[in-house]
Every structure is written in structure tokens, then in C-alpha cells.
A and B are shown apart, each in its own frame.
Chain A
Amino acid sequence: MKKLKIIWNAIIPNNPVLIISIGLCSVIAVSNSVKSALLMTFAFSLVQIPSNIIVSALRKVTPNEIRVPIFVSVIAAFTTIAALISQAFFNPIYQVIKLYILLVVVNCIIIGRAEAFAYQNGIFDSFLDGVGNTIGYGLVLVTIAIVRELIGKGTLAGIQILPESYQPMLLMVLPPSGFIMIGLLTGTIETYLRKKGGKK
């Protein structure tokens, strides 16, 4: 039960994107199509979970003063792996969102979790925390991508969903709507948490 709590905490009450507002860059940038969003989540999980495990495994031998460079080296190694894997298997999508996959290395979520969780907790807990944060991040990213692609193009992952007569709202796949969508979602979840807090 306590273990499940770790995952749950990272998904809703401490959602990295909506509540703490970190790691926004890639969420807004790649959420204009479902395929890019899925590849981004995949690359993110390839970095977040293993780097949490390694940082946690090394926490007893990591000197406190140079911990940040060590975290960054570990994360950079896994980012390289994730970028090479995405390039090998999903090259067409990779070429579109290349910059954002390379920049997973400075994603504040991953460094933040290494510092705040993995550096203080055991290997298995860190693994669960990594899974939870990946789900929390992916859920927001894919949800926004589904809404934006459906309204902006009438398709989902390239498959036509809405009837042909639907006039696509082009604005939804252009940059501004990323900001607007994330603003609406943040507002919704903050209102939900405020109401829930008020009842107690």
C-alpha cells in the first residue's frame, strides 16, 4: 500500500508538470501530435527510470559536494542511449522532435527527482518513483496531444477520426494553443485540489 502511494503521489498530488510546473518545455512543444507525444514519453521513461535507479544505487558513495555533476553525467549517458534508440527505430518522428529528445538531459523533472527522491531513498522505491513520474508526465503529455490533434487535424495518431466534413481548427496544432491548453489544465487541477482541501 505504501509502495502504491509513491506512484500515486507522483501522478496526481505532486504531478511534475501541472503542480510543480517543471519540464514544461517538452510538454508544450511535442504535444501537437499523438505520435510525437508517445515517442517523447518513451524516451522520457528510458531516461527517468534507469537514472533514478543508478543515482539511488550510487547514493552511499556519492560525495555531497559533487552530487549534481554526477547526476548530470548519469542522466546524460541515458539520454544518449534514448536518443540513439529513438533514432534507430522511430527515425521519421525522431527527426521532427530531435531537439526535445536531446534536451531530456536538462529536463528539470529528472534532475529534480534524482536530487529530491533517488538520492535519499532505496533502489526499489526510486524505481517506483521513476515509474510514477513517467506516468504523471506521459499522462499530461498524451492527454494534451489527443485534444490538440483531434481538434486541430481531426485525426488521432494519423488516423482520421472526425468525419471528412469537419473543418480542422488549425490554431490547435500551432504553438499558441500549447500554452492555452496547459493553462486550462493547470487551472482545472488546482481548482480540484483547492476544493478537495476545503472539504477536509
Chain B
Amino acid sequence: MVLEENLRVAFTALRANKLRSGLTALGIIIGVAAVIAVVSIVQGMQFMITGQLQNVGATFIQVVPQQEFGGPGMVQKQVRLTWDDGQAIAQHVRNVAMITPQIFGQTEVKYRDRQHKPFLLGVNNDWPDVNKFNVDRGRFFSRLDLDRRAKVAVVGLSVIDELKIPEPIGAEIYAGNTAFTIIGVMEKKGRSLGLDYDDLIFVPFDTALGIFGRRAADQVQLQIQAANSESVDQVKDDIKTLLRERHHIGPDDTDDFRVLVQDEILKFYSQLLLVVTGVVGGIVGIALLVAGIGIMNIMLVSVTERTKEIGIRKSVGAKKRDILVQFLIEAITLALVGGIVGTALGYAVGAVTVKMLPGDLPAAHVPVWAVVLAFGFCTLVGVVFGIYPASKAARLDPIEALRYE
């Protein structure tokens, strides 16, 4: 029979019981809204992480100390990763184009009577090139500044704003009781993952050790640019071999450091996001199951209420299949309307959540697959939970149905 008539009948029936249809669809709306909201936020994050990592390039390699957590009573091995390790890598590993150590911590900074607590990074002169993040005004510190342990600093735009420094270049600021002269201002980078990349202050590595203390020298991160993307794996393997040797790690022991290349950093975040998506997906699945049962319930009521109508339709020649399709379409319509409203609501919730959360989260992004999946799933819910009531309607005996009051 004609689809158009079925759709008309479905909408007429749903409109006739607005409250009931609305409440039934609400289950679906909430389920779909939840999945779309979560997916939009998670996808937005993934977009940003991917974008950021692509920014530093495929040749970016990071080495970080990896604390190993032994069981209770086991002696905690002292994990060390030092700039000596970094210099050894620079000397012995082929295809290392640039390398910089990095230590960081939140530090109180003063300018005249104003105070602020940005992240202070101790790095060397290669940091801007390794991280593809450069100075806008003035200059970054040089090899010479490092060797002389010069008390110079390069600051981000937010630091200047917070401290209200009218003319930054040449200004003197205090960090941890040490006076620094500002020699450069970083380009604007913006925020991501809750971190303000403009709220940073860079000082020479050795100088930073003076602020953070000698212990910080054992917990250094190393950031490396490989010569080219083909050599990334070789560089990674050589670093592993070299560091295992330097750290006296036995053949059966695990590394006390991690070498992260861009692919792995991406994979790590992707896996994290996948787990989040999976957990939420499971919850949403249960929500939709409950919503589906709601639809089945209401459809059963609807079939009973409309027994007479079914009898009339059969008496003028409706086949079983016609009645089945009619009620199935009604169930699917109910689920799909819920899906459409839920998608819109979910997107709105995602967008608002991103705006309201502290830190700078990436804009919500709803991928097409999520919408298609949501609609597909709603249709499936409609079919699965509509088929029983619909077949019940289709099997009604026309004589009995006509007699029903």
C-alpha cells in the first residue's frame, strides 16, 4: 500500500495523542541527545588534539620518565631522566636534528606590585623550533644566553596582560626570587585542552633548575625533532637502546622512560576518547532499550484502542501486510521524531557544555556518522519494538475487530 497514506495515518495518530507520543518519544530524545552531546564533545577534542599534533609535525618525538609503580613493600626504583641523557642522545643517535630539555611548573611571577602564576618552562634555545612555536617580538634566548646562565625570559601574551606590563621587552620581572629581563614575547597560540599556551614563561634550562631545585633535574622531558619522517622509527629505537644502556636496565626489565612519537600520542588520546565514547555508548544503549520498551508499550495500547479501525481497514481490503506496515511506520515515526529532536537537543547541550566548562574546550563537533548512526539506531528501535504490536494488529480477526467497541 501507499507509503504516503501510512505516513499520514502515523502522523494523525501521533498528533491525536500529543502528550502520550511526546512522553514516549522523550525516552528516545534523552538517549539520543546524550549520545550526540558526548560524541560532539569528544569529537571536538579529537579534532583539536589531531590538529595540534599535526602542528608539531610527524617528526616530533618526546621522551618522558615513566614511574613504575611496584606493589606494596616493593622498593620503588628511582626513575631518572636527565639532560645528560638528552646530550647523550644528541651525540650518539643519528638523525636527531634538534633536542631540547623541558621542565615546568606553576610559579609565582611578580612585576612591580602585580602577581601572577603562569607555567614556567625551563628549556633550551631549540625549543621554539622543536615545538613550532615562535617568538613574535624580541628574540628567544640563544646558545650564548644558556652558556652564560643569563637571567632572561620570554613570555606569552597572557602573562603580559595579567601583569599589566606596558613595554615588555627589557622589563624586569621576578620569578622565585630571581630577577629576569624579558627579551621576547611569544606569538599568540590560544588555549587547548584546558591549557592556555599564551600563559607561559620561558627561561633558560639551567636557570629554571635554580628555581625548581636539583630534584627537577632528574625528571626532565626531552623533546626532539628527527631529521625526517622516515627516520622517526630508527631514532625512537636508538633512543630506547641508548637509554636502557645508560639506565642499566636488564634485558628482562621494563623501560623507565617512554618514547612517544606523534602516532602514539594520537593513539593514546584516541584510545582514551574511545573508552569514554564506549562507556557512554553503553549507558545510552540501555537508555534506548528502555525507550524502546516504552514505545512497544504505547504501541500495544494503540493497537488495542484502534481495534475497530483495524477492522474497518480490513473490511475494505487492507491486507495483513498493510496493517503491519502501518503500525510499524507509526512506531518508527515515533522513534525517529525522538531521534531528530534528540539530535538537535544533543548538539545544543554539547555546544552549551563546551561554552560553560572552565578552560578552553574545542567547539562541539557532530560528525555525520553520529547522526546517521543515531537515526539508524532509532529506526532499529522502532522496528524491533514496533514489530510485535504491529504483527498483533495485523493478525486481528476482522470480524472480531469490527465488533470491538
- Real complex partners, A and B? no
